[in-house]
A = this chain, B = another copy of it.
Amino acid sequence: MTVADTNSWTGIREELLRRIVGRVWQPGEQIPHEADLAEEFGCARTTVNRALRDLAESGLVVRKRRAGTRVALNPPQKATLTIPVLREEVEALGRTYRHSLLERDLRPLPPMLHGAFQVPPDADVLYLKSLHFADDRPYAFEERYINLATVPGAQAASFEAISANEWLVQNAPYSHGDLAFFALSADDDLSAQLDAAPGTALFAMERITFAGEEPITHARLIFAPGYRMRTAI
């Protein structure tokens, strides 16, 4: 009858998924209780629970206590994308990674970041400007501000051997943050750094991370032309 062996929670998940995409259970419709499903599949309720939890996590079903489980009306298209450390991303492509620090100084935080990045108005932050290479070709341009109040150790770090990104993930774990992707045109500086014609459309990523309430760092990465950020859904 069913092709998947239903005596493992993944098997049960596949079968449930089959019924959902096969419209055996309509969107918005309530599906049988865990207990009923457990009886049908001849397994423990725990096992059905595991399968349903997994489906709920991916957004295909919506679960509410007492109200039961129902098929999501419009399955929210969730994608988990892993933002790799650039070095690993480049090396995974079979190319050699290298980065160079272009600028490094202490300066006040630019006004543009005052809203999102709350530091005392007179405090200086560590500014870093660097370029990441893959096989000696520019791969990404990075501008970063580091809050020395939360990461005092950054002042002593050189960031020559190890990139700021890697140094931070290893020395200043964050609790949460914000991430944004957008497009921008290469200005003259970017054009020179990334070896792109002026005005070329570039893919950019901005990230702020926090440890609790304290901002750690603000980073803007601008990738060389042709970059695509991919993921599976």
Residues of A within 8 A of B (CB): 17, 20-21, 27, 59, 73-85, 88, 166, 169-170, 173-185, 199-204, 207, 209, 211, 226-233
Contacts and interface: CB of A to CB of B under 8 A. Distances in A.
Given A78-B80, A230-B180, A233-B178, A170 B27 contact: yes
Contact of A166 (B74, B85, B88, B202): B74
Contacts of A83: 76-79, 233
Closest 5 A/B residue pairs (Cβ) = A183-B183, A201-B201, A77-B83, A183-B201, A183-B203
A180 B80 contact: no
Contact of A201 (B77, B85, B175, B202): B202
A181 B233 contact: no
B229 A180 contact: yes
A209 B21 CA distance: 13
Given A77-B84, A181-B229, A183-B202, 8 more contacts: A21-B211, A74-B166, A74-B170, A78-B83, A180-B228, A181-B203, A183-B203, A185-B199
Contact of A78 (B77, B81, B88, B170): B81
B179 A230 contact: yes
B173 A20 contact: yes
Nearest to A231: B179
Contact of A77 (B82, B202, B203): B82
A212 B172 CA distance: 42
A148 to B, nearest CB: 18
Contacts of A176: 232-233
A175 B179 CA distance: 27
B21 A177 contact: no
Contacts of A209: 233
B175 A17 contact: yes
Contacts of A76: 82-85
A81 B81 contact: yes
B80 A74 contact: no
Contacts of A74: 85, 88, 166, 169-170
A233 B201 CA distance: 26
Given A21-B211, A80-B80, A201-B202, A179 B233 contact: yes
